[in-house]
Structure 1
Amino acid sequence: MTLVEALALLLIGSLAGFINVLSAGGSMLTLPLLMFMELPPQVANGTNRVSIALQSVSAVYHFVRAGAHHLGLSLRLALPAVAGSLAGAWLALRTGDALFEAILIVVMSGAALLMLLPQAPLDTRALTPARLTPAVYLAMFAIGLYGGFIQVGVGVLFIVVLYRMLRIDLAQVNVFKVLIVLIYTLPALALFVLNDQVRWGYGLLMAAGSMTGAWLAVKVNVSPRGALVVRWLTLAVIAAIILRLLLG
């Protein structure tokens, strides 16, 4: 690893950690970066989980210190996501590199388009156990399956389920999101580790940046203007990365 690569991991990791907590799409930056550093796609996919797990630890810790609640409900939502993530990681480990790269391009393009859709204001309300229907649990399993497989853009899916289906306000969505991601990422990461698909030096260096970015995001979690700026910045970088992937 060169000095330039180390600095890139710290910088992009910080930006991704900030984006993942406040909005969505951080892995659309980190996963291609690891691949551009000539890590095989599945190794990059596994290594990226190190950063995701540790930035989620940072975000959960700071959210709890800031007074976040409903953590018990987050745990209930996380259980089906864990089952899905194990299945998704198992599928990812059996996907060829060429197919994985093609899926990554399609997923990044689709997630970017979803991020462009306007978020119409909804009448939100506090989450109660009675509102956790079988349809919600099935949706959480699907998110875990997707996250275990590739993770890219998973925050967009949380917005669909938690904001659109359950009508939780967006600031609270971010709290639920980071705890659920932390819980389902750990078993998926373990599968990649057991299959020797993690490069710890790259992952821990990126995680150092992403944990800092996650801490900063918690500080501005209630700022709609900040989320808007982050979204457009993310989309600009994603467009450049998709072009780079298409050009090989």
Structure 2
Amino acid sequence: MTLLEALALLAIGTVAGFINVLSAGGSMLTLPLLMFLGLPAQEANGTNRVSIVLQSLSAVTSFFRAGARHVALSLRLSVPAVVGSLIGAWLALQTGDALFEAILIAVMAGSAVLMLLPQPRLETRPLTAERLTPTVTLAMFAIGLYGGFIQVGVGVLFLVVLYRMLKIDLAQVNVFKVLIILVYTLPALALFLVNDQVRWGYGLVLAGGSMLGAWLAVKVNMSPRGAFVVKWLTVAVIAAIILRLLLG
């Protein structure tokens, strides 16, 4: 790895980490960069998980230092997401590229519509386990299924669904999202490791940038205008994903 390559990984990693923590879609930047630097697609996919895990860990740590809680509730939401992701990964192996992209466009367009609907009436009572209804659990399974199947933009779905179902502020939803994604990504990273598809040098340099971006994103998320930034950044990311797919 040259110095220029390392600087590119750090720079793009910082931007991707910022986007991933506040919204989703950072992998649209990091995966092409890793492949441009010469990694085969599977190695790039596996190596990118190193960055996702470490940026999520950085964000979770920063959120809790800033006073965020609900670890137990987040872990409960993670279980159905992990189960769904394992099934989704298997389904992805049976699906052609054209159908794959059509499903992604449809899901992202639907997410944009949901995000732009009028804000739901937010709950003022404390978030407790009783509010994690079977419908919420099923939704987490479905998002995990999607994430295992496609992965791109999965954070958008976590934001939209939890925002609408739990009726808590988007900034609070983001705390749940990053912890769920941390748990959700660990089994996938382990699978890539077992199959020798991780390049640690590239992954750790990329992760260095993404952890910085995650730290900056937490500062924005916890600010008074955090929910506003999350909403409109998410809409912009959805538009970018759809445009990129339509233009090929």
TM-score normalized by the length of structure 1: 0.83
Counterparts of 1:112 and 1:8, CA distance in 2: 31
**Correspondence 1:62 to 2:59:** no
For 1:176-195, list aligned pairs within 5 A: 176-195=176-195
> Which residue in the other structure is 1:23 paired with?
23
Deviations 1:179-207 (A, max 9, x none): 11111111111011112222222221111
Distance in 2 between the 1:95 and 1:112 partners? Answer: 24
- 2:111–2:160 contact (8 Å) kept in structure 1: no
Give me the whole-angstrom Cα distance separating, in 1, the residues matched to 2:14 and 2:75. 27
Question: Which runs of 5 or more residues in structure 2 are unaligned?
Answer: none
Work out the CA distance in 2 between the residues paired with 1:38 and 1:102: 28
* Match in the other structure for 2:136: 136
CA contact 2:13–2:213 (8 Å) conserved in 1? yes
Q: Distance in 1 between matches of 2:133 and 2:189?
A: 28
Does 2:93 correspond to 1:107? no
TM-score by length of 2: 0.83
SS of the equivalent of 1:127 reads: coil
Partner Cα distance (1:109, 1:11) in 2: 31
Structure 1's 57 and 100: CA in aligned 2 closer, same or farther, altered over 3 A? farther
**Distance in 2, Cα, partners of 1:82 & 1:24:** 18
> What is the rounded CA distance, in whole Å, between the counterparts of 1:78 and 1:175 in structure 2?
13
Who is 1:227 aligned against?
230
Deviation, structure 1 residue 101: 9.1
Match of residue 122, structure 1, among 114, 120, 128 = 120
Corresponding residue number in structure 1 for 2:4: 4
Q: CA deviation at 1:149?
A: 3.8
Deviation at 1:23, TM superposition (A): 1.8
Is the 1:41–1:100 Cα contact (8 Å) retained in structure 2? Answer: no
**Distance of aligned partners of 1:27 and 1:220 in 2 relative to their CA distance in 1, 3 Å threshold:** same
CA distance in 2, matches of 1:11, 1:88: 31
**Percent identity over the alignment?**
65
Q: Cα 1:75–1:228, aligned 2, differ >3 Å: closer, same or farther?
A: closer
The answer as to 2:207 corresponding to 1:207 is: yes
Cα contact 1:148–1:185 (8 A) shared by 2? no
User: 1:74 and 2:77 equivalent?
Assistant: no
In the TM superposition, what is the alpha-carbon distance from 1:65 to its structure 2 partner? 0.4
TM-superposition CA deviations, 1:45-104 (whole Å, max 9, x none): 222111110000000000000000111111111111122233344555x469xx569836
Distance, in Å, in 1 between the alignment partners of 2:43 and 2:91 is 14
Query: d(CA) in 2 for partners of 1:109 and 1:205?
Result: 34
68-77 vs 79-88, greater mean Cα deviation: 79-88
Does 1:196 pair with 2:196?
yes
Gap regions ≥5 residues in structure 1 = none
Q: How many residues align?
A: 242
Shift in Å, 1:171 = 0.8
Rate the CA distance shift 1:111–1:191 in 2: closer, same or farther, 3 A: same
Deviations 1:141-194 (A, max 9, x none): 222233234421011111232011221210110000011111111111101111
- Runs of 4+ with >6 A deviation: none
Deviates more, 1:140-149 or 1:57-66: 140-149
Deviation at 1:228, TM superposition (A): 5.9
Q: Specify the code of the residue in structure 2 equivalent to 1:13.
A: G
Contact (CA 8 Å) 1:89, 1:188: kept in 2 or not? Answer: no
Counterpart of 1:53 in structure 2 is: 53
Give the direction of change, closer, same or farther, for the CA distance of 1:162–1:225 in structure 2 (3 Å limit).
closer
The separation in 1 between residues aligned to 2:27 and 2:148, in whole angstroms, is: 13
